[in-house]
């Protein structure tokens, strides 16, 4: 009898791999019946990864979204699954143990059946506790092998890793080929090795289309015994996304596998709705290059899920760098020139920092480190001159054990800065703090939510949750969207579109000024905006790069205020750029006489943010 291969639609990852944002809950609920009607999916990826963060960024409650979105699939007998980052939960930085345990209880209560647990270091110390917590909450624990291609990441390495996870209680194994650079024959051998160890273990294969291997890889893993295959669909298939369900289904049918048929009328209905979502607002955050397959991605091995936001962010990085070049009488770079420099630098940096698998957050860390190196070297500075604290945590072992050794030049730099390499269980560095967040919510008069889901959300994404609750997140998003729409629809001949729009957030009207070209757009304001701290005497502290300014990066820190004395090397605040917090440090002792921007404000490189006397 022919072996059956079942399909999953990775609807969340389709959007993350294409651009910056996810659909709104009303759009998700509307498209769900048509996805069900397609009749070919046994699983749908509904949430996880960046899904909840981007909900907050455009002002929507992710808890309500997940509950409403998973419900129709449950009623239809289709399993829902999510992506989770093990030690990091749903964010870029590690989570305390109490938050990790609450995470699975909340997601199970909200309607998520399966959690796909992954660690970019493939460190069992990060994955195994999540397997246990997920199973205790009643979820199916799917442990991931983060696939990459290096001298360290061999077939034997991955088969032994799968054995470790199975022995620890994993219900399923996922080959998470997040960059699509797994070599097809090797992937087949990995599946064969896992099935030889435990014949009935469920294996799901996830890959991205960009580099060009994944159709061959899908066929190889299915021939070796894979049970589920992740797919995408038009207009978000291929490119930095996933193979289209039509092509995969036809290929496997021809190879003799038992597969479900596709209701093509429903397929076209879903396709039409996806296009409508793009036309509404999501398409303004999907760069055209992300629709194109590119074998240049084989060398840097950057994941498809990151390429969506990377190309959007790169536009801002290029503008900032070219401003500096114009100011210093140097020729500007094109997007392609910067991209090639970045890809080459990623390939250089990756082995130097111990071959972490290039998946969240470590793909962002390696990419950010490479991009900072490129930008600093373009400005005549040295490589490694700007390394964010979270990247140092990865290098030093605080996030888990790196697969390979750190290069001597990085070890020497760590010694010069007084940094120590760590070998303890990564969880030991991050103490429980749920009670602190519960107390803060009670003080603010905020509800903990059904099944403590609001407590979970605040603890998982504190800065973004506060911006969501205040309305600032939605106002900032609406301002940025209005600017993008105005630029896209500007009349020919260089004429500009509207100078301002008014958006309504929680019943308050915000007038948003729109700037064109290189001029920064002022922040949104409701009536009288909070006044910035008055400028004092002293020297300006400048933003070292473009991003969002924050006084603290988490609940464990006390924000600096006017009048505070600081010593050379003290952290004054952070610039969040490219999903990492980059510390702004005092270069001398003094007293803060003014804080010129508010937490959450966008700043450009060299903008004054504080005064120090």
pLDDT, tens digit, 9 for 90 and up, residues 136-171:
999 999 999 999 999 999 999 999 999 999 999 999
Q: Is the pLDDT of residue 290 over 90?
A: no
Is domain 6-291 classified as CATH 3.20.20.70? Answer: yes
H or E stretch covering 48: strand 41-48
Confidence bin at 524 (pLDDT 50/70/90): very low
Q: How many CB atoms lie within 10 A of CB 323?
A: 16
Q: Is the pLDDT of residue 294 over 80?
A: no
Confidence bin at 522 (pLDDT 50/70/90): very low
pTM (global) more than 0.85: no
* Whole-number percent of the chain with pLDDT over 70: 90
State how far the alpha carbon of 571 is from the alpha carbons of 463, 552, 601, in Å: 18, 9, 18
Dist CA 321 CA 242 (whole Å):
32
Q: Is the pLDDT of residue 349 over 70?
A: yes
* Whole-number percent of the chain with pLDDT over 90: 61
Angle subtended at Cα 89 by Cα 602 and Cα 306, rounded to the nearest 5 degrees: 55
- Strands 6-9 and 140-146, sheet pairing: unpaired
pLDDT of residue 150: 92
- Find, among 146, 143, 166, 167, the residue nearest to 158 by Cα: 146
Q: Is the pLDDT of residue 415 over 70?
A: yes
Q: Is the pLDDT of residue 503 over 80?
A: no
Specify which of 19-23, 172-176, 292-296 reaches the highest per-range mean pLDDT: 172-176
Sequence spans of domains, the chain: 6-291, 539-612
More confident residue, 284 or 511: 284
Lowest-confidence pick of 22-26, 119-123, 551-555: 551-555
Q: Is the pLDDT of residue 104 over 90?
A: yes
Contact between residue 36 and residue 76 where contact means Cβ atoms under 8 Å apart: yes
More confident residue, 486 or 553: 486
Spatial CB neighbours of 132, under 8 Å, sequence gap ≥ 6: 168, 169
User: What are the residue ranges of helices labelled H in 445-519?
Assistant: 453-460, 462-470, 472-488
How many residues appear in the chain? 613
Spatial CB neighbours of 474, under 8 Å, sequence gap ≥ 6: 58, 59, 468, 503, 505, 506
Q: Is the pLDDT of residue 516 over 50?
A: no
H or E stretch covering 204: strand 202-207
pLDDT of residue 360: 82
pLDDT of residue 250: 98
pLDDT digits (tens, 9 = 90+) for 421-448: 999 999 999 999 999 999 999 999 999 9
pLDDT of residue 182: 95
pLDDT of residue 518: 43
Confidence bin at 236 (pLDDT 50/70/90): very high
More confident residue, 580 or 487: 487
Confidence bin at 506 (pLDDT 50/70/90): low
pLDDT digits (tens, 9 = 90+) for 213-235: 999 999 999 999 999 999 999 99
Q: How many CB atoms lie within 10 A of CB 499?
A: 11
pLDDT of residue 264: 97
More confident residue, 604 or 499: 604
Confidence bin at 527 (pLDDT 50/70/90): very low
Q: Is the pLDDT of residue 508 over 60?
A: no
Kindly report the backbone phi and psi dihedral angles of residue 189, in degrees, each rounded to the nearest multiple of 5, phi listed first.
-65, -35
pLDDT of residue 492: 59
The alpha carbon of 452 is separated from its chain's Cα centroid by a whole number of angstroms, namely 24
More confident residue, 310 or 437: 437
Dist CA 536 CA 599 (whole Å):
19
What CATH code would you report for 539-612?
2.40.50.100
Q: Is the pLDDT of residue 568 over 80?
A: yes
Dist CA 155 CA 189 (whole Å):
7
More confident residue, 177 or 321: 177
pLDDT of residue 529: 37
34-37 contacts, C-beta under 8 A, 24 or more apart: 34/266, 34/269, 34/270, 34/273, 35/9, 35/11, 35/73, 35/266, 35/270, 36/72, 36/73, 36/76, 36/78, 37/263, 37/266, 37/269
State how far the alpha carbon of 427 is from the alpha carbons of 93, 99, 139, 395, in Å: 12, 12, 22, 16
pLDDT digits (tens, 9 = 90+) for 464-488: 999 999 999 999 999 989 998 988 8
pLDDT of residue 320: 82
Q: What is the mean pLDDT of the chain?
A: 88
Q: How many CB atoms lie within 10 A of CB 252?
A: 22
Confidence bin at 115 (pLDDT 50/70/90): very high
What HEC string does 69-119 produce?
A: HHHHHHHCCCEEEEEECHHHCCCCCCCCHHHHHHHHHHHHHHCCCEEEECC
Q: What is the mean pLDDT of residues 578-606?
A: 83
Q: Is the dihedral of CA 253, 258, 259, 261 positive or negative?
A: positive
More confident residue, 73 or 587: 73
pLDDT of residue 200: 97
Q: Is the pLDDT of residue 106 over 50?
A: yes
- What b/e string do you get for 9-18 counting C-beta neighbours within 10 Å, with b at 16 or more? bbbbbbbbbb
Lowest-confidence pick of 280-289, 368-377, 549-558: 549-558
Q: Is the pLDDT of residue 533 over 60?
A: no
Dist CA 233 CA 244 (whole Å):
5
Confidence bin at 381 (pLDDT 50/70/90): confident
pLDDT digits (tens, 9 = 90+) for 178-190: 999 999 999 999 9
Q: What is the mean pLDDT of residues 329-334?
A: 92
pLDDT of residue 502: 54
Spatial CB neighbours of 152, under 8 Å, sequence gap ≥ 6: 355, 403, 404
């Amino acid at each position: 009898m022919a072996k059956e291969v079942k399909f999953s639609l990775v609807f969340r990852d389709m959007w993350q791999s294409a651009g910056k944002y996810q659909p709104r809950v009303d759009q998700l609920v509307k498209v769900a019946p048509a996805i069900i009607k397609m009749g070919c999916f046994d699983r749908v990826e509904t949430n996880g990864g960046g899904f909840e963060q981007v909900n907050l960024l455009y002002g929507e409650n992710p808890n309500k979204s997940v509950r409403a979105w998973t419900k129709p699939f449950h009623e239809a007998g289709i399993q829902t699954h999510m992506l989770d980052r093990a030690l990091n939960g749903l964010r870029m930085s590690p989570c305390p143990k109490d938050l990790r345990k609450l995470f699975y209880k909340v997601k199970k209560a909200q309607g998520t059946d399966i959690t796909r647990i992954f660690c970019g270091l493939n460190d069992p110390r990060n994955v195994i506790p999540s397997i246990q917590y997920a199973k205790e909450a009643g979820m199916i624990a799917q442990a991931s092998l983060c696939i990459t291609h290096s001298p360290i990441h061999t077939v034997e390495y991955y088969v032994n890793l799968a054995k470790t996870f199975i022995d620890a209680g994993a219900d399923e194994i996922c080959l998470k080929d997040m960059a699509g650079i797994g070599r097809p024959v090797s992937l087949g051998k990995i599946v064969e090795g896992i099935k030889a160890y435990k014949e009935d273990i469920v294996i799901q294969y996830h890959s991205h289309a960009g580099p060009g291997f994944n159709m061959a890889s899908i066929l190889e893993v299915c021939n070796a015994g894979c049970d589920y295959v992740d797919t995408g669909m038009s207009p978000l298939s291929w490119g930095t996304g996933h193979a289209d369900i039509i092509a995969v289904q036809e290929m496997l049918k021809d190879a003799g596998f038992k597969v479900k048929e596709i209701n093509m009328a429903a397929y076209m209905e879903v396709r039409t709705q996806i296009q409508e979502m793009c036309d509404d607002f999501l398409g303004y955050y999907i760069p055209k290059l992300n629709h194109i397959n590119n074998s240049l991605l084989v060398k840097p091995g950057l994941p498809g899920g990151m390429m969506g936001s990377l190309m959007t962010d790169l536009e801002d990085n290029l503008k900032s760098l070219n401003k500096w070049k114009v100011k210093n009488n140097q020729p500007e770079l094109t997007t392609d020139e910067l991209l090639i420099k970045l890809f080459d630098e990623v390939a250089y940096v990756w082995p130097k920092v111990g071959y972490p698998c290039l998946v969240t957050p470590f793909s962002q860390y390696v990419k950010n480190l490479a991009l900072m190196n490129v930008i600093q070297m373009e400005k005549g500075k040295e490589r490694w001159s700007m390394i964010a604290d979270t990247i140092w945590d990865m290098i030093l072992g605080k996030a888990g054990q790196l697969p390979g050794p750190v290069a001597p030049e990085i070890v020497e730099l760590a010694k010069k800065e007084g940094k120590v390499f760590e070998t303890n269980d990564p969880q030991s560095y991050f103490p429980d703090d749920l009670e602190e967040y519960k107390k803060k919510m009670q003080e603010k008069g905020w509800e903990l939510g059904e099944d403590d889901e609001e407590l979970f959300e605040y603890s998982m994404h504190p800065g973004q949750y506060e911006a969501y609750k205040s309305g600032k997140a939605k106002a900032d998003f609406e301002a940025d969207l209005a600017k993008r729409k105005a630029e896209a629809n500007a009349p020919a001949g260089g004429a500009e579109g509207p100078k301002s729009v008014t958006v309504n957030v929680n019943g308050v009207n915000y007038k948003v000024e729109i700037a064109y070209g290189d001029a920064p757009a002022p922040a949104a304001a409701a009536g009288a905006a909070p006044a910035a701290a008055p400028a004092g005497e002293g020297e300006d502290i400048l933003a070292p790069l473009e991003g969002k300014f924050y006084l603290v990066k988490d609940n464990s820190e006390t924000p600096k205020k006017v009048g505070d004395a600081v010593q050379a090397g003290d952290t004054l605040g952070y610039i969040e750029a490219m999903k990492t917090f980059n510390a702004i440090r005092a270069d001398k002792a003094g007293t803060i006489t003014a804080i010129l921007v508010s937490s959450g404000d966008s700043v450009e490189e060299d903008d004054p943010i504080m005064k120090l006397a």
